[in-house]
Amino acid sequence: MQLTLWTYEGPPHVGAMRVATAMTDIHYVLHAPQGDTYADLLFTMIERLPRRPPVTYTTFQARDLGGDTAQLFKDAVASAFDRFKPRAVLVGSSCTAELIQDDPGGLALALGLPVPVIPLELPAYQRKENWGASETFYQLARHLVKPPDKSAAATPHKPCCNILGPTALGFRHRDDVREISQLLQALGVEVAVTAPWAASVEDLQNLARADFNVVLYPEVAHTTALWLERQFNQPYTRVMPIGVSATREFIQEVATLAGVEIPPDLEKNARSVWFSRSVDSTYLTGKRVFLFGDASHVVAAARFATEEMGFEVVGMGTYSREFAREVRDAAKKYNVEPLITDDYLLVEEQIKNLHPELILGTQMERHIAKRQGIPCAVISAPVHIQDYPARYAPQMGFEGANVLFDTWVHPLMMGLEEHLLGMFREDFEFHDGVAPSHLGSVRAQPTEAPPPQKSVSDQILVPSTAVAPITATAWSTDAEKELGKIPFFVRGKARRNTERFAMEHGLSTITVETLYDAKAHYSR
């Protein structure tokens, strides 16, 4: 058993729902207990879709368990088919149905429906949402894709590709698809099929016709792209076009695969490069950031943070175990310890030890940020309703970089206010205890990580992954007061450095001198 306060991913059948809901003429029959229909809300409320997800649930209850739940399932498949007339049917179990072992695949095949029936084996007690989405997409491709017509491939045509990976309930998938489609169009590359987003069964059958694949979200599409490459020699793109440099690299990759020239005016709307160079952004240099999310967004965001924002990555991690290697490699580049976990408490502990000035994470990191009083922006799913905005808000391409710049800078205190706070500490209106004034409210925020002699409720009984808190030295009153003069967003780090310095030098009491000695020591 694992104690979970927040979970980063849903169960794998939610991943399957994301694929089914993204598509247009498929139906998913899910063997599940009453109540599991909550998942419909993810789509109708959080993503605000104006239609019901194409999912029929058996919604069995306790009294059904004594009877024939297998028959219940068969009836559900038959009536769903009659009512919705899908072009293909997905069948599977949720976690509870997995325990009663009714074999949805076998039962549905026995019905002899006139359309493809695709059974899904999604081990709910081992795997999670993204794996479920990826597996579902892969199974759909395996069952549906038809070999391409050789003669059609031989005739000269405009280079064309598929876009793979966008699903329902994806973080900014809607706008990323638009941004990248426009980019591909500008490059003179035609998009044959985008899948699973808005794809039909027929579209999937035609996947093998394109010259190559653009993989936007490896978490969903990598397995399928790999299979398509093996089966039909379709190469696929490796770069996730988040940030200006990555987008340029992506363009280069596509141009090579498609054999096209790169037109000169692609970057005319890329403003983030100039914004970041403008002197107003100088104060962003070396801001300490912590990143967490799905692997591909974290790796891409870390690159944007260092190369295009001038931040310093002090920690990064992911909950996607399937792509842990990518994050480990990236972490090496920034010389930080990678955190591969789906345990929210470990992430919280790590952030507490690192004292970042900005957290780039998921909805869950917003809880941590609130608790520790650290500015935070969202870069990855899981997200809530506010991150399915009405406005155009891609993460990818040049417009995506513009969006990232605005989103990440917003929670940080602005330059002038930061300077003045450092100079005058006793202002009745602008002081440590209040949020940055451009955020409008006067809510109090914790001014630093709790001091070592913290209350018991702050201690987390999980193995510490990073540096253990140093608790053996005591602060003199003067030093404590002096520490209070350091701007709050770096104070936690100053406290920790000073304590480490004192420990290393065997000092039992920290004086004002020690504080400045440590400052000099670490500023080398």
Partner 1 sequence: MSTMIPIQNAEALGCTNTPVLSEKGQREVFCGLTGIIWLHRKIQDAFFLVVGSRTCAHLIQSAAGVMIFAEPRFGTAIIDERDLAGIADANDELDRVVSELLARRQDIKLLFLVGSCPSEVIKLDLTRAAERLGRQHMPQTRVLSYSGSGIETTFTEGEDACLAALVPTLATRSIRGKHLLIVGTLADVVEDQLGALLRKMGIEQFDFFPPRKSTALPAIGPETVCMLAQPFLADTAKQLEAKGIKRLSAPFPLGAEGTTQWLQVAAQAFGIDAQHFENATRAPRQRAEQSVARHRVQLEGKSITFLPDSQLEIPLARFVYQELHMKLLEVGTPYLHRQIMAPELEQLPSSTRLSEGQSLELQLDRCDADQPDLIVCGLGLANPLEARGFTTKWSIELVFTPIQGYEQAGDLAGLFSRPLLRKLKLVA
Residue 36 in marked binding region = yes
CB of 35 or CB of 259, closer to partner 1:
35
In angstroms, what is the minimal distance from the CB of 418 to partner 1? 24
Joined together, the tokens standing for residue 245 give 């440099």
Interaction of residue 384 with partner 1, rule CB under 8 A: yes
What part of residues 34-73 is at the interface with partner 1 (CB under 8 A)? 34-38, 40-42, 44-46, 48-52, 56-62, 64-65
State the residue for tokens 């500008």.
186
Tell which one of 110, 186, 460, 467 touches partner 1 (CB under 8 A): 460
C-alpha angle with apex 344: 339 to 346, nearest 5 degrees?
50
In angstroms, what is the minimal distance from the CB of 178 to partner 1? 22
**Which one of 75, 149, 280, 478 is the catalytic residue?**
280
Residue 422 in marked binding region = no
- 361-367: which pairs have CB atoms within 8 A and are 24 or more residues apart? 361/290, 361/291, 361/292, 361/293, 362/8, 362/292, 362/293, 363/387, 364/6, 364/8, 365/292, 367/6
What part of residues 109-138 is at the interface with partner 1 (CB under 8 A)? 124-126, 128
Residue 416 in marked binding region = yes
* Alpha-carbon separation of residue 113 from 53, 79, 403 (angstroms): 21, 11, 47
The one segment of 6-14, 152-160, 217-225, 264-272 that binds partner 1 by CB under 8 A? 6-14
In angstroms, what is the minimal distance from the CB of 1 to partner 1? 4
Chain-centre distance of CA 194, in angstroms?
20
For residue 382, is the peptide bond before it cis, meaning its omega torsion is within 30 degrees of 0? Answer: yes
Helix ranges restricted to H, 110-217: 129-144, 150-154, 173-186, 201-205
Interaction of residue 523 with partner 1, rule CB under 8 A: no
Tell which one of 71, 79, 252, 282 touches partner 1 (CB under 8 A): 79
Could you give the CA distance from residue 330 to residue 349 in angstroms, rounded to a whole number? 21
CB of 64 or CB of 190, closer to partner 1:
64
Q: What phi and psi, each to the nearest 5 degrees, are found at residue 246?
A: -65, -35
Q: What phi and psi, each to the nearest 5 degrees, are found at residue 392?
A: -75, 120
* Sign of the four-CA dihedral 379, 382, 384, 388: positive
Interaction of residue 456 with partner 1, rule CB under 8 A: yes
In angstroms, what is the minimal distance from the CB of 340 to partner 1? 17
The one segment of 194-202, 225-233, 359-367, 423-431 that binds partner 1 by CB under 8 A? 359-367
Dihedral of the CA atoms 356, 361, 366, 369 (nearest 10)? -10
In angstroms, what is the minimal distance from the CB of 127 to partner 1? 9
Beta bridge partners of 378: 361
Interaction of residue 2 with partner 1, rule CB under 8 A: yes
CB of 142 or CB of 443, closer to partner 1:
443
The one segment of 8-16, 149-157, 189-197, 501-509 that binds partner 1 by CB under 8 A? 8-16
In angstroms, what is the minimal distance from the CB of 61 to partner 1? 5
What contacts 314, CB < 8 A, 6 or more positions away? 288, 289, 290, 336, 354, 356
CB of 278 or CB of 453, closer to partner 1:
453
In angstroms, what is the minimal distance from the CB of 433 to partner 1? 16
Question: Could you say which DSSP state residue 206 is in?
Answer: T
Could you give the CA distance from residue 309 to residue 223 in angstroms, rounded to a whole number? 32
Could you give the CA distance from residue 43 to residue 46 in angstroms, rounded to a whole number? 6
Tell which one of 71, 282, 459, 509 touches partner 1 (CB under 8 A): 459
What residue type is 353 in one-letter code? Answer: N
Could you give the CA distance from residue 31 to residue 94 in angstroms, rounded to a whole number? 6
Taking a C-beta distance cutoff of 8 angstroms, is the pair 272, 308 a contact? yes
Interaction of residue 14 with partner 1, rule CB under 8 A: yes
What contacts 59, CB < 8 A, 6 or more positions away? 32, 33, 34, 35, 36, 37
Interaction of residue 9 with partner 1, rule CB under 8 A: yes
x/- mask, partner 1, residues 175-214, rule CB under 8 A, reads ----------------------------------------
Could you give the CA distance from residue 375 to residue 436 in angstroms, rounded to a whole number? 10
Taking a C-beta distance cutoff of 8 angstroms, is the pair 188, 406 a contact? no
Interaction of residue 457 with partner 1, rule CB under 8 A: yes
Active site residue 280: yes
For residue 196, is the peptide bond before it cis, meaning its omega torsion is within 30 degrees of 0? Answer: yes
In angstroms, what is the minimal distance from the CB of 228 to partner 1? 30
Kindly determine how many residues on this chain lie close enough to bind partner 1 according to the rule CB under 8 A.
66
Could you give the CA distance from residue 144 to residue 367 in angstroms, rounded to a whole number? 42
- Residues making up the annotated binding site are 36, 415-416
Which residue ranges make up the site for partner 1 (CB under 8 A)?
1-7, 9-11, 13-14, 33-38, 40-42, 44-46, 48-52, 56-62, 64-65, 76, 79, 83, 94-96, 99-100, 124-126, 128, 345, 363, 366-367, 370-371, 382, 384-386, 456-457, 459-462
**What residues are labeled active site?**
280
- Residues making up the annotated binding site for [4Fe-4S] cluster are 36
- Residues making up the annotated binding site for substrate are 415-416
